[in-house]
Structure 1
Amino acid sequence: MAFTSDLDQITRAAAGDPAAVRALVGRYSPGVLSLATRMLGDRTEAEDVTQETFIRAWKALPGWEPRAKFSTWLHRVALNLCYDRLRKKRESLPGELPDQADRSLGPAEAYDQTQRVGAIEQAISRLPERQSAALTLCALQGHSQAEAAEILDISVEALESLLARARRTLRAELLEGSTSR
């Protein structure tokens, strides 16, 4: 069954159409899972947040009004759930390092690259929640500043300020870390 638009799928999903529900989950769950994984640093928790995001979405769909793009709204729900989990644990646990080593590199270079990726991820996890979220949305997930601002429910100017502070903090921390080796 072909759908003409997100709105058509949303309308059908709100009415209980399982094909529409599957289509929306298929389209949006990778982005929600990616955001949650980067925010929480834990794939299992991120999967839980993704599932909870869609449960909340389905409950809200019958009354949902398209004031924002559906994807923006879903990311906002996921981000709020991530904030809740981060507040509950308060200690940041480093996440699993992705397999990002370039296969053309030798073992020493691949190790160095993995160490740099790990240092960056740990530094991002230590940022204040909103700075981490802004950086994750824009730099790691590729959202435009306007989309990220909408997800965070702030102005573009406030987002730019968060990004500037996050980058400045990261730069300082990473430079400090590289000089202490």
Structure 2
Amino acid sequence: MTDEPDPERARDAALLAAYAAGDARAARSLVETHAPRALAVARRMLGSAAEAEEVAQEAMLRLWRIAPEWRAGEARISTWLYRVVANLCTDRLRRARTVPLPEGHDPPDERPGAVAGLIEGQRAAALARALADLPERQRLAVTLRHLEERPNPEIAAIMGLSVDAVESLQARGRKRLRALLAGTELNYHEG
């Protein structure tokens, strides 16, 4: 760990304190900064835009609820928020495995309809399918590191694991992704 000040942490803590004091502009700034990333993680974890939006909204609501009690300096808001999103997604995934869909229910097709997006859509779909085949913890570790570009110490804090455990999950996840994507146009290359 370093003793250097963390400008993101200080800015976010100040914004959260301002929100707790009634500043709506501070809330908007926090939403603009953190909601898109929370939504992206939820979408990758759940594979559903609608469910991801619900998770991201719930996570932001939880942030607003804890605003008055937030202790600046103890954690980064982004780390706390990713952990909440991960927990909400895990809960939804577990419920989905135990509650069957009604007969005849087909999830909506969320692929882009334009021909120009077809190739990118196919690549994204291949990656989404491969990610969905990973165990939840590997999926989260790979998503946070390689798609959200979060550092391993932050991922460890989000997941409540050691950095070594996170690195192990990522290594196993990357290995499984390579195997799942072998032979497709979307070959996974570490880098």
Do they superpose with TM above 0.5?
yes
Shift, 1:90, TM fit: 2.2
When structure 1 is superposed on structure 2, of 116-125 and 149-158 the one drifting more is 116-125
Q: Does 1:126 align with 2:139?
A: no
Return the alpha-carbon distance in structure 2 between the equivalents of residues 44 and 94 of structure 1.
Answer: 10
Return the alpha-carbon distance in structure 1 between the equivalents of residues 128 and 110 of structure 2.
Answer: 9
Q: Are 1:39 and 1:133, in contact at CA under 8 Å, matched by a contact in 2?
A: yes
Mapping 1:87-166, distance limit 5 Å: 87-90=94-97, 96-97=110-111, 111=119, 114-166=121-173
Shift, 1:169, TM fit: 1.4
Q: Are 1:94 and 1:121, in contact at CA under 8 Å, matched by a contact in 2?
A: no
Structure 2 counterpart of 1:46, from 47, 52, 62 = 52
Per-residue Cα deviation, 1:148-174 (whole angstroms, up to 9, x for no partner) = 122112111000100111111122222
Describe the SS at the equivalent of 1:52. helix
Structure 2: 5+ residue stretches without partners:
1-9, 99-106, 186-191
Describe the SS at the equivalent of 2:182. helix
Q: Does 1:80 align with 2:121?
A: no
Q: 1:83 to 1:98 in 2, by over 3 A?
A: farther
Shift, 1:86, TM fit: 0.8
Aligned length: 167
Return the alpha-carbon distance in structure 1 between the equivalents of residues 63 and 135 of structure 2.
Answer: 27
When structure 1 is superposed on structure 2, of 156-165 and 116-125 the one drifting more is 116-125
- Say what the alpha-carbon RMSD is for the aligned residues: 2.7
Q: 1:95 to 1:156 in 2, by over 3 A?
A: farther
Q: 1:114 to 1:9 in 2, by over 3 A?
A: closer
Describe the SS at the equivalent of 2:149. coil
Per-residue Cα deviation, 1:94-118 (whole angstroms, up to 9, x for no partner) = 984479x9x6xxx9xx64x643432
Q: Are 1:32 and 1:50, in contact at CA under 8 Å, matched by a contact in 2?
A: yes
Return the alpha-carbon distance in structure 1 between the equivalents of residues 38 and 25 of structure 2.
Answer: 20
* Partner residue, 2:68: 62
* Partner residue, 1:175: 182
Whichever residue aligns with residue 160 of structure 1, its letter is E
> Given the two structures, how large is their TM-score scaled by the length of structure 1?
0.80
